[in-house]
Amino acid sequence: MTALKSSPLALRLTAFLVLLGLIATVFQSFAPAYLSENNLHALLRHMSVNGLTAIGLTFVIVVRHFDLSFPGIASLGAMTLGWMLANDFTLMQSVVGGIAIGLVAGLINGSVISYLRLPDIVTTIATGGVAVGLSYFYSNGTSISENFFMSGILDLNDSRFLSLDMPVVILLAAAIVAFIVLHCTRFGRAFYATGENRRSAAFSGIRVKAYVLTAFGLCGALACLAITLLVASSGAANVTAGNQLMMPAFAAVYLGAALFGAPSIPATLGGTLLMSAMLNGFTLLAIPYYYSDAIVSTVLIAAIGIFDPKLTTLLGGLFSRQPAR
Amino acid sequence: MAAILDMKGIEKQFGVVKALDNADFSLEAGEIHALLGINGAGKSTLIKILSGVYTKDAGEIAIAGESVQIGTPAAAIACGIASVQQHPELVDDFTGIENIFLGQESPQPGLGRRVDRRALKLQAEQLLKRFPIEIDLEARVGEMPAVDREIVAILHALSREHIRILILDEPTSTLTEREKTSLFHLMRQLKAAGIAIIYITHRLEEVFEISDRFTVFRAGRRVTTLTCHEARTSNISIPELMLDEKPGDIFPPKAKSAAGEALLDVRGLSRPGLFSDVSFTLRRGEILGIFGLVGSGADELSKALFGVIRPDAGTITVKGKQVALKDPHDALRQGIFLVPGDRRTEGLTLSRDVIFNMTLAHLGKASFLGGLLRFGSNRKASAGLAQRVALHPMTLDRPVSAFSGGNQQKIVIAKGLYRDADIYIFVEPTVGVDIGARATLYALMRELSAHAGVLIISSDCDEVHGVADRMTALYKGRPVFVPDQRPSRDQLLSAGIMGARA
């Protein structure tokens, strides 16, 4: 116990594992298929989509902004991808095209918010709305699946690399790159400095606006990479593809930050794993999405509450007030 | 005369810092009592305890001989104590009358009660009858001059009739001479009405103009209380009472050798409303001082030299090359480093450790070509810098918020050292820094000036006079001509306070 107390990281890791174990035990007892190999594959594939979105969102949260547009941008990316595939672009071109649209949309968000200083929440609600509108242009809102078999996009979901599912490989690769950038480079320092004290960061010579811009760009691009995997698994691109990305991403970032003390890539991955473990369990139990969404939202509220330093000090005070023996 | 307020044995500790150490203070009914002391002497802590913002750790407070407990601002008001902050919080869109009675528009509680404007106006007139002063209370506060805002804030504080003690925290810091006269007029009216006023100021000449008595605080204790008459006849030096040691003792020796090449040359720098026609040259090997009170434009000037504020006219020449500073990034590349006046919001990332902060101003140096951080060498460099600035405690892994003010300032200085800057601009370098750490900081500035140019901008006249080799004053945004730039302390003081030529 003393070892745990002296190392807050060990304590947080234990809390995370206990929580994960608890979720697994509860679902396993209701649905015996929960821990089967097949379902774990499904869980990890599901986690890949949410994890990529959440990694992008992590950058935005680290610079202390909000992005509510990425679901809309992801839909636009999905439709761009589908339209390009249907019009005989190569798989490579189409995937790059979809991600590029996300990057551009994110950069538009970022430049409007950091250089024109418009409020982030309202701005991203609006740009997200615009992106959804644009996504209807390709096919008047009907889903696109032409050429999908031929193009090989389905392999993004089905193929394996070193006995791991491809989506998981892509998530891990993205997570490793993001981890190095955010935690081992000068750029990561600058992202954190910008978020934690923008004024002192600027006074230290950091181009804070450029970092805010970059964070939004990454968020848009990664949301579109995530939606590419979702399109690959469902075999069709449709205009509502991005709708289910919002809650899990925010919940993952905040739950991770609450568990591990601050937003970071490992924290986000941990948060995503918890969220996917829950969402997958609800699917297995055939709980309708509107209930599971409500539960996920409750978890999000709780996570924000715990993330709030006022509440943590209050809780910390409760624990430390116990008489020491 | 009977004391209306008696504070005895007041103690207050913040972390390791003892802000008040067995302090006492007494106030007589109907007097104007100036409270003096350098920054960190404990006077604002005392005031905040009295007005219920802080709770005391120990000690007794008695009002009119009766012991009271003041735990909250509401309790202070109930005891008859009202205070006006340095920058009063008023609702700009409301009129003077509405601001005065904010929060007490209606005697009965409950929603849906209409505000009776006529009654409020009548009450305001009664208030003005008690304290006759010329002011248009029907005007919107946002459009009022600074002194009227101050008066509205004071009337707001006095709108409850039982108030007997009024605390004014540096009310004149942003006022012009003429505005000051009208504020002093109101203060005399209040005094005549039997209200005792505690008055905090940094301008010593005002003390003799308006107050009956003054109390000097130093290092958390009351040093002395004198009537102005006693002070005048006994020929004592108030600054000497305010400083822990005789002025000069905490200051390092002046530069021995002549200053070297010109590092920073500023000509006719202007930004209307903030500062105008500022010119000076800073050379390697010297400390140049600029004395300017709050509102003199000194802080804004420092920001213009660091690329935060763009000047409208004038030139900045760094090492012989004229430069346009677009942002701090530019300024840092030119070798300029600002140790900002507000180190907590402008100088440090408080939640992060010492290494993060010390290396933040030069991330290029802290990383390899691809951007990967040099974790090992950053730690080594930070350890070296921590030694050089004598950081205490000498730990690199705790968040900088856990360090005392003086040591936080040392960490900011280390940022500049890591950057290898040639020009160091210090703004209010010792605000919230205790006397011991001050001497260390001044010595550090002197050491820096051996290889660089140091510009110190401060509202503390003794600090500027004690540290700088050459100095000038800024008054209402304009530099005051000081011959040979080596004025006596009093010449510098009057230049900065009244714009008087020495």
pLDDT reported for residue B491: 81
Given phi > 0 = left and psi -120 to 50 = alpha, else beta, which region is A73?
A: alpha
Q: Which residues of B touch A309 (CB under 8 A)?
A: none
Is residue A165 within 8 A of residue A45, CB to CB? The reply is yes
Using pLDDT thresholds of 50, 70 and 90, give the confidence band for residue A38: confident
Q: Which residues of A touch B307 (CB under 8 A)?
A: none
pLDDT reported for residue A160: 77
pLDDT tens, position by position, A252-288: 998 888 888 888 999 999 999 998 998 888 888 888 8
CB pairs under 8 A between A and B: 73
Residues composing chain B? 502
* Res. A71: pLDDT tops 90: yes
Which region among A181-185, A316-320, B126-130 has the lowest average model confidence (pLDDT)? A316-320
Given phi > 0 = left and psi -120 to 50 = alpha, else beta, which region is B499?
A: left
* Residue A248: HSE in the Cβ half-sphere, 13 Å Cα cutoff: 30
Q: Which ranges of chain B have pLDDT less than 50?
A: 247, 502
Amino acid making up residue A307: F
What is the chain B residue with the closest CA to A191? B360
Using pLDDT thresholds of 50, 70 and 90, give the confidence band for residue A5: very low
pLDDT tens, position by position, B153-200: 888 888 877 888 999 888 876 676 677 888 888 888 888 888 899 988
pLDDT reported for residue A1: 35
Which residues, including other chains, have CB under 8 Å from residue B33's CB and lie 6 or more apart? B27, B196, B197, B198, B199, B211, B212, B213, B214, B215
The model's pTM is 0.74
Neighbours of B98 (CB within 10 A): 21
The CATH code of domain A2-320 reads 1.10.3470
Q: Contact A204/B350, CB-based, under 8 Å?
A: no
Q: Contact A201/B360, CB-based, under 8 Å?
A: yes
Domain ranges of chain A: 2-320
Average pLDDT, chain A: 85
Using pLDDT thresholds of 50, 70 and 90, give the confidence band for residue A324: very low
* Res. A17: pLDDT tops 50: yes
Out of A186, A187, A196, the one facing B349 most closely (by C-beta) is A196
Pairing verdict, β B81-84 and B165-169:
parallel
* Mean pLDDT of the region A28-54: 89
pLDDT tens, position by position, A202-254: 999 999 999 999 999 999 999 999 999 999 888 888 888 888 888 889 889 98
- Which residue reads 């003690």 in tokens? B165
Interface confidence (ipTM) of the complex: 0.82
- Read off the tokens for A210: 């450029």
Q: Which domains does chain B have, with CATH numbers?
A: 3-242 (3.40.50.300)
What is the chain A residue with the closest CA to B360? A204
Amino acid making up residue A228: T
Out of A185, A190, A197, the one facing B345 most closely (by C-beta) is A197
pLDDT tens, position by position, A94-145: 999 999 999 999 999 999 999 998 988 999 999 999 999 999 988 887 888 8
pLDDT reported for residue B435: 62
* Mean pLDDT of the region A53-71: 94
Higher pLDDT, A150 or B472: B472
pLDDT reported for residue B267: 92
Burial B178-196 (b: 16+ CB within 10 A, else e): ebbebbbebbeebbeeebb
Q: What span, in angstroms and rounded, lies between the C-alpha atoms of A67 and A214?
A: 13
